[in-house]
Amino acid sequence: MQHINEDIKSGQFSQVYLLYGEEAYLRKQYKDKLKAALSTEGDTMNCHYYEGKDISAGEIIDLAETLPFLAQRRVIILENTGLLQHGGEALAEYLASPAPAAFFVFVETQIDKRSKLYKAIQKTGVVVEFSVQDEAILKKWILGMIKRENKNISGNALNLFLSKTGTDMENISKELEKLFCYCLEKDAVSEEDIEEVCTKKVSNQIFDMVNAIAERKQKQALSLYYDLLALKEAPMRILFLIGRQFQILLMVKDMKKKGCDNKSIASKAGIPPFTVNKYAAQASKFRTADLRRALEECVQADEAVKTGRMNDRMSVELLIVKYSSMK
pLDDT band at 250 (very low <50, low <70, confident <90, very high): very high
pLDDT above 90 as % of the chain: 67
pLDDT of residue 53: 85
**Separation between Cα atoms, residue 322 and residue 319, nearest integer Å:** 5
Provide the CATH topology of domain 202-325.
Answer: Zinc Finger, Delta Prime; domain 3 (1.20.272)
Which residue spans within the chain are E strands per DSSP? 16-20, 47-51, 74-79, 102-108, 126-129, 152-153, 188-189
Q: Which amino acid is at 245?
A: Q
The Cα–Cα gap between 101 and 44 comes to 16
More confident residue, 88 or 200: 88
Q: What is the mean pLDDT of residues 282-287?
A: 91
Tens-place pLDDT, residues 52-61? 888 889 999 9
Higher pLDDT, 163 or 72: 72
Mean of pLDDT values over 65-74: 92
Q: Domain spans of the chain?
A: 2-129, 135-197, 202-325
pLDDT for 204: 78
pLDDT score of 29: 94
CATH of 135-197 given 1.10.1740.10, 1.20.1250.20, 2.30.130.10, 1.10.8.60: 1.10.8.60
Is residue 230 pLDDT above 70, yes or no?
yes
- E strands, 170-260, are 188-189
pLDDT value for 288: 93
pLDDT for 252? 94
Sheet of 16-20, strands arranged across: 47-51, 74-79, 102-108, 16-20, 126-129
pLDDT of 14: 94
Q: How high is the pLDDT of residue 138?
A: 92
Q: What is the pLDDT of residues 87-137, one digit of tens each?
A: 899 999 999 999 999 999 999 998 999 999 999 999 989 999 998 888 889
Residue-averaged pLDDT of the chain: 91
CA dist 130 and 30 (Å) reads: 10
Q: What is the per-residue pLDDT for 327?
A: 65
Section 215-226 average pLDDT: 91
If one counts every other C-beta atom within 10 angstroms of the C-beta of residue 58, the result is: 11
DSSP states along 280-308: HHHHTTS-HHHHHHHHHHHHHHHHHHHTT
pLDDT category at 232 given cuts 50, 70, 90 is: confident
| pLDDT tens digit sequence for 21-34 | 989 999 999 999 99
In CATH, which of 1.25.40.10, 3.40.50.300, 3.10.450.350, 3.30.300.30 is domain 2-129? Answer: 3.40.50.300
110: Cβ–Cβ under 8 A, 6 or more apart, which residues?
20, 85
Q: Looking at the predicted structure, is the pLDDT value of residue 166 above 90?
A: no
In this prediction, residue 179 carries a pLDDT of: 93
For the entire predicted model, the pTM comes to 0.69
Q: What is the pLDDT of residue 267?
A: 83
